[in-house]
């Protein structure tokens, strides 16, 4: 059986996902697309999934009888509307991160999914599917480095586009660490603190850049993460776990060591699309397989809600300079 998918949002990641869902992966095809920029949607369909319907609205795409499941890859503020509409139509929906831009909006999605009575929502936290993070998780779980005590992480982008403003360093960038680090150490967060760095001259649009976020978990693990989205030199993701008996680092992506022009070294990637390309493929193949089997196996709406509560606390901590508690509702049995 083939899963017929409609994709809302045909920008950077929408096009990446269309290409993998229409031709690269097994068991899926893209039958419909939509974007608020209709020209962009038409061009993406022609190039990547010829013959797919180009709908004038996200709702029309969701209502299309030739769409079995929906992928939401539009801007964050539009996610809630489309995920709720897919739930109302009883269609499985994969939503790119963030699930929604506030914890209240994520809570509405959680409540709608529970009221519908069956799991339908998966959130695009693809780092859980990355081979490097999976190896790190296995090392933690095996006890080889003892209990994790501290984590030192960094999320660096060479630069960001003009529409990247305000607290997107947390809501759009750090949200990846918020999800994957909690999954890695199998613990939830209890507090957040943000320490501003000296502002880079490359930080435009009034952006604060760089800064450090410190999260503390229930069991006492302290996690510091540098967010630096104008670092210039590359797309650089770091994660070191300090355990009772040793340390473990996220492996660097495999690139060829070279010696040239008096330098011995390895190239650093510049583009997030390439850094996690394999994990997107694994993530979507897993989603297609589970959806065809009537399940959600990946990060759930509850994970999206938890990330949003944490992200809200980080934004508050950044604004106030205080240590802000992270308090969520009790996890519904539906997500156990």
Q: What is the contact surface with ligand NAD in residues (CB under 6 A)?
A: 8-14, 34-37, 40, 58, 73-76, 78, 96-97, 124, 126, 172, 272, 276
State the sign of the Cα–Cα–Cα–Cα dihedral 225, 71, 293, 119: positive
Asked if 295 and 175 count as a contact pair (C-beta separation under 8 A), the reply is: no
Output 276 or 305, the one with its CB closest to ligand ISE.
276
Output 113 or 172, the one with its CB closest to ligand ISE.
172
Measured from the CB of residue 139, what is the shortest distance to ligand ISE in angstroms? 23
Measured from the CB of residue 305, what is the shortest distance to ligand ISE in angstroms? 19
Is residue 143 exposed (0-12), middle (13-18) or buried (19+ Cβ within 10 Å)?
Answer: exposed
- Secondary structure element (H or E) that encloses residue 114, with its range: helix 103-116
Check binding of 335 to ligand ISE (CB under 6 A). no
Measured CA to CA, the distance from residue 170 to residue 308 in angstroms comes to: 10
Measured from the CB of residue 2, what is the shortest distance to ligand ISE in angstroms? 28
Q: What is the DSSP string of 271-297?
A: -HHHHTHHHHHHHHHHHHHHHHTT---
Output 2 or 205, the one with its CB closest to ligand NAD.
205
Residue 36 interacting entry, from ligand NAD, ligand ISE, none, C-beta within 5 to 8 Å by type: ligand NAD
Output 20 or 216, the one with its CB closest to ligand ISE.
20
Measured CA to CA, the distance from residue 165 to residue 216 in angstroms comes to: 26
One of 183, 272, 334, 335 touching ligand ISE (CB under 6 A):
272
C-alpha distances in Å from residue 92, one per residue of 5, 11, 16, 121, 128: 10, 21, 20, 6, 20
For residues 124-183, which are near ligand ISE according to CB under 6 A?
A: 157, 172-173, 176
- Secondary structure element (H or E) that encloses residue 110, with its range: helix 103-116
Measured CA to CA, the distance from residue 97 to residue 128 in angstroms comes to: 13
Residue 144 interacting entry, from ligand NAD, ligand ISE, none, C-beta within 5 to 8 Å by type: none
Output 248 or 309, the one with its CB closest to ligand NAD.
309
C-alpha distances in Å from residue 191, one per residue of 81, 153, 172, 187, 213: 30, 17, 19, 12, 10
For residues 206-245, which are near ligand ISE according to CB under 6 A?
A: 229
Residue 68 interacting entry, from ligand NAD, ligand ISE, none, C-beta within 5 to 8 Å by type: none
Output 62 or 100, the one with its CB closest to ligand ISE.
100
> In 3-state terms, what secondary structure has residue 138?
helix
Output 64 or 179, the one with its CB closest to ligand ISE.
179
Measured CA to CA, the distance from residue 52 to residue 29 in angstroms comes to: 9
Measured from the CB of residue 168, what is the shortest distance to ligand NAD in angstroms? 9
* Residues of the shown chain interacting with ligand ISE in the complex, contacts defined by CB under 6 A: 157, 172-173, 176, 229, 272
């Amino acid at each position: 059986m083939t899963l017929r998918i409609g994709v809302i949002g045909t920008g950077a990641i929408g096009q990446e996902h269309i290409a993998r869902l229409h031709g690269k992966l097994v068991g899926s095809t893209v039958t419909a697309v939509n974007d608020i920029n209709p020209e962009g949607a038409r061009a993406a369909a022609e190039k990547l999934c010829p013959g797919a319907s180009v709908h004038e609205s996200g709702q029309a795409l969701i209502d299309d009888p030739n769409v079995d499941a929906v992928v939401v890859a539009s801007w964050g503020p539009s996610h809630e509307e489309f995920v709720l509409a897919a739930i109302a139509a009883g269609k499985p929906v994969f939503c790119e991160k963030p699930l929604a831009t506030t914890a209240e909006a994520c809570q509405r999605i959680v409540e709608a999914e529970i009221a519908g009575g069956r799991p339908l929502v998966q959130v695009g936290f693809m780092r859980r599917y990355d081979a490097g993070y999976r190896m790190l998780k296995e090392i933690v779980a095996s006890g080889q480095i003892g209990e994790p005590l501290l984590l030192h992480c960094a999320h660096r982008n060479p630069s960001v586009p003009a529409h990247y403003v305000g607290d997107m360093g947390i809501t759009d960038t750090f949200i990846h660490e918020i999800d994957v680090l909690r999954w890695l150490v199998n613990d939830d967060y209890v507090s957040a603190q943000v320490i501003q760095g000296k502002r880079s001259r490359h930080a435009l649009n009034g952006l604060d850049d760089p800064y450090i976020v410190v999260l503390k978990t229930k069991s006492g693990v302290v996690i510091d993460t540098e967010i630096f989205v104008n670092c210039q030199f590359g797309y650089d993701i770091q994660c070191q776990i300090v355990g009772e008996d040793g340390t473990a680092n996220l492996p660097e992506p495999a690139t060829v060591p070279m010696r040239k022009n008096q330098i011995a070294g390895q190239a650093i990637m510049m583009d997030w699309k390439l850094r996690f390309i394999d994990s997107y493929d694994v993530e979507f193949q897993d989603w297609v397989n589970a959806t065809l089997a009537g399940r959600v196996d990946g990060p759930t709406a509850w994970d999206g809600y938890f990330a949003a509560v944490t992200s809200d606390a980080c934004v508050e901590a950044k604004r106030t300079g205080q240590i802000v508690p992270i308090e969520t509702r009790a996890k519904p049995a539906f997500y156990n």
